[in-house]
Amino acid sequence: MEQHLLGIDIGTSGTKTLICTPTGKVLATATAPHTLQSPKPGYSEQDPDQWWAATCKATRAVFRKAAIPKSSIQAIGLSGQMHGSVFLSKNHTPLRPAILWNDQRTAAECAEIESLMGSRKKLIKAVGNPALTGFTAPKILWLRNHQPRLYDRTTQILLPKDYIRFRMTSTFATDVADASGYLLLDIAKRKYNPTVLRKLQIDSSLLPPTYESHEVTAELSTSGAKSLGLLPGIPVVAGAGDNAAAAIGNGVTSPGILTASIGTSGVMFAHADTPTLDPDGRVHTMCSAVADKWCVFGCELSAGACLQWFHNNLAEDTIKQAKKQKQDPYTLLLQQASQTPPGAEGLYFLPYLTGERCPHPDPLAKAAWIGLTIRHTHPHLTRALVEGVTFGMNDILQILRNMQIPTKTIRLTGGGARDPFWRQLQADIYNSPVATVNTDEGPAYGAALLAAVGIGLHPDIHAACKTAIEQSKKLKPNRKLIAFYKKQHAQYQRLYHALASEYQHIANLINA
């Protein structure tokens, strides 16, 4: 009988499932959407049970597409959006909607955590990162401070993919890569930090046991199998948060290779053999999905989300034109943008639709086009937006380079990898060779490869990636534009600092 792996990724906009062979050949994929709620400005929430419904729907759909026997699935790997907080009651049902990675309500709790730890530097030394609004620990304190009755009823706090694991297996577990985002893990020791838990007064019993990403955590239960349309007893490995899993899916398992992922958020991700910290806390250092290794990365909160917002709200004519031409509207938007001059004739875009994390940990930051004149047209707006998102990614890259992280080749993934204009733009702005790999299936693919390692189909994740992943020919930067974009990026960076103090005034007016 043929052997197959199932990868499941609980994303922000939807759940993706993937079936592949042990050598990485993808047979089929399927996606089921999620909806996002924002009950107040800066709030971002989802219903965890909607994730489960989407997982069941997408799993059944991918099997219909793959047309393989259920008995051929040897193992399941999980991935998901990081930091989301699922608070469970004693009967293991969610007490409230999950608070997501891009939620910005916890600024006061971040300050509280750093105060309880003695300083920002002491916190970074203890867990590898500063307190940021997207992380999980600030959300735990927010629930305790603002909804104490729900906090008192909480018996387990899970990350998104780990809630799905529980629904599949009735087992609580997580992996060290995803658990790094709790802000409660000693990343050097790969264990929860008892000192941090004590100072924040968080009971360790609320947190699931941790595993390396390839390790088997449980087997698919009878009820979980019935809901998914699978057979019980299939091993489920620990998996990883979406960034770490996507890095595996792009073969980032050794120094010198980075991945630049432009999805809803934008992530520049590098492998590290040792836990390398940024003393200023601008980028994150966490455990890697590679056993006993680490990673350093930064997250731009709104990357592809900016283009999606633009498409949904300001591109009606382009959408109509694309429909007439039977063309994808995003492809047409980028084609139009490519026909405008580099630099969009003095127009800049700040991509802070949901605040920012890296390099500016500023939940109050706001998006803007700056430099508009009567000359500017719709394609100029698009080009400035895409350049702004890419400048934000370059902010992260410059920090990694200043930390002496090797950056020999950048592998592109996500929406920014699919379009030739955006691929070349990234090479030009990063001033680096860029490449893609033979698959662009993202975290679900990395999760499936981890599952293959977990049951011994490969000796380790390096061997799995070497077998499954091939890099395309490198795309080199346009030397005529390197100096130009260096100046453009410098101007882009000045704009945030010029406006930073105004964001607080805007927030005060909104809340008045």
Residue ranges of E strands in 264-383: 266-272, 284-287, 294-300, 348-350, 368-370
Q: Provide DSSP, 253-297.
A: -STEEEEEEESSSEEEEEEESS----TT-SSEEEE-SSTT-EEEE
**Chain position carrying tokens 């699978």:** 230
Cβ–Cβ contacts within 10 Å for residue 287, how many? 31
State yes or no: cis peptide before 342, omega within 30 of 0. Answer: no
**What are φ and ψ of residue 434, in 5° steps?**
-125, 160
Written as six digits, the tokens of 254 are: 């050794």
Calculate ∠ Cα 246-248-249, nearest 5°. Answer: 60
Which residue type is seen at 496?
A: Y
The Cα 141–Cα 137 span in angstroms is 6
Half-sphere exposure at residue 88, Cβ-oriented, CA atoms within 13 angstroms? 23
284 among annotated binding-site residues: no
Q: Which secondary structure element, helix H or strand E, spans residue 218, and what is its range?
A: strand 216-219
How many residues would you count in the chain?
512
Burial state string for 159-181 with b = 16 or more CB within 10 A and e = fewer than 16: bbbbbbbbbbbebbbbbbbbbbb
Residue whose C-alpha is closest to residue 294's, from 360, 237, 244, 221: 244
Written as six digits, the tokens of 432 are: 């680096």
Residue 242 annotated among the catalytic residues of the structure: yes
Helix (H/G/I), strand (E/B), else coil: 94: strand
Q: Pick the catalytic residue from 9, 178, 186, 242.
A: 242
83 among annotated binding-site residues: yes
The binding site for substrate comprises 82-83
- What residues are annotated to the active site? 242
Residues of the binding site: 82-83
